[in-house]
């Protein structure tokens, strides 16, 4: 199959996810930078909900021994979700939001893909969120750090960032993809608000996935608390993923 046809079928499959992808040449360039033709061909048809390796082998008509190492490698790349649940590892295709907005700059080191994608992300990926402009529920909420925040509009926040930690059982820290994509783009002003990229904290299954596949570094509860306070002292405002439960990110 021609490379163009492989990517076209893959984009059609990505558009069956709840997030989808914008239909622009720039976004096609992002997809081609993030996924090799072999990646795209393999991942077309991989569900966005968790399946066992046996289920996926049947879907793709590929032997388990051949499919598993390929999916494990793509989990380390940040385009496949992998988690141990109900006695077995389960996999799913990551949606475009996670792949482009979050996972692309996780982990250590930089490669040519990162530099190619940074200008594209800064230029085009903001339009990705225009489709959600009408929604009343936002992806993040701001959180104070054990202090009252004055708001001249008279709206007082009620969340306490440390209370979020009380309900978590596993912690990790990863790189801030927003900061990285700014700093790697020669035409974009560097983010100077915090000296390190490693300042996004994750919890639970999300954190386990990140640590196991080399995208983040495990923290203790105390280390997590210290990092949150350090970021607050540096002037950062905490934002928490807007889920009733489970919260996966600050």
Q: Residues 236-246: pLDDT tens digits?
A: 777 777 666 67
The CA radius of gyration of the chain, in Å to the nearest whole number, is 19
pLDDT of residue 157: 43
Least confident segment among 12-16, 32-36, 37-41, 239-243: 239-243
Mean pLDDT of 52-67: 97
pLDDT at 153: 41
Residues 165-176, mean pLDDT to the nearest whole number? 90
- Would you state the structure tokens that stand for residue 15, as one six-digit string? 């558009």
Write down the mean pLDDT value for the chain: 83
Cβ neighbours of 85 (radius 10 Å): 11
Please check the confidence at residue 206 and state whether its pLDDT lies above 70. Answer: yes
Residue, of 218 and 238, whose pLDDT is higher: 218
> 10 Å Cβ neighbour count for 249?
18
Percent of the chain with pLDDT over 90: 41
Element (H, E) at 72: helix 64-77
Q: Per the structure block, which two tokens stand in for 238?
A: 């905490």
CB 157 within 8 A of CB 220: no
Q: Look up the CATH number of domain 3-119.
A: 1.10.10.10
The whole-model pTM stands at 0.81
pLDDT at residue 20 tops 50: yes
Determine the 3-state secondary structure of 194 from DSSP: coil
How many other CB atoms are there within 10 angstroms of residue 134's CB atom?
A: 6
Q: Where are the domains of the chain?
A: 3-119, 136-241
**Quick one: pLDDT at residue 126?**
55
Cα(164)–Cα(176) distance, rounded to whole angstroms? 20
């Amino acid at each position: 199959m021609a490379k163009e046809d492989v990517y076209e079928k893959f984009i059609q499959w990505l558009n069956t996810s709840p997030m989808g992808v914008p239909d622009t040449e720039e976004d096609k360039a992002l997809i081609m930078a993030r996924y090799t033709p072999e990646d795209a061909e393999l991942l077309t048809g991989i569900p966005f909900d968790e399946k066992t390796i046996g289920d996926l082998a049947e879907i793709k008509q590929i032997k388990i021994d051949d499919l598993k190492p390929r999916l494990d490698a793509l989990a380390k790349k940040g385009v496949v979700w992998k988690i141990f649940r109900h006695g077995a590892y389960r996999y799913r295709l990551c949606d475009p939001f996670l792949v482009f907005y979050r996972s692309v700059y996780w982990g250590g080191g930089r490669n040519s893909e990162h530099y190619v994608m940074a200008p594209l992300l800064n230029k085009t990926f903001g339009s990705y969120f225009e489709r959600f402009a009408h929604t009343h529920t936002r992806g993040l909420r701001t959180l104070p750090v054990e202090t009252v925040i004055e708001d001249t509009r008279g709206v007082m926040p009620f969340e306490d960032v440390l209370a979020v930690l009380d309900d978590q059982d596993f912690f990790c820290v990863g790189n801030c993809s927003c900061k990285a994509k700014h700093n790697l783009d020669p035409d974009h002003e560097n983010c100077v608000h915090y000296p390190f990229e490693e300042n996004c904290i994750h919890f639970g299954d999300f954190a386990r996935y990140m640590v196991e596949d080399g995208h983040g570094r495990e923290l203790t509860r105390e280390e997590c608390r210290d990092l949150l306070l350090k970021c607050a002292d540096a002037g950062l405002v905490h934002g928490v993923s807007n889920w009733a439960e489970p919260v996966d990110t600050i």
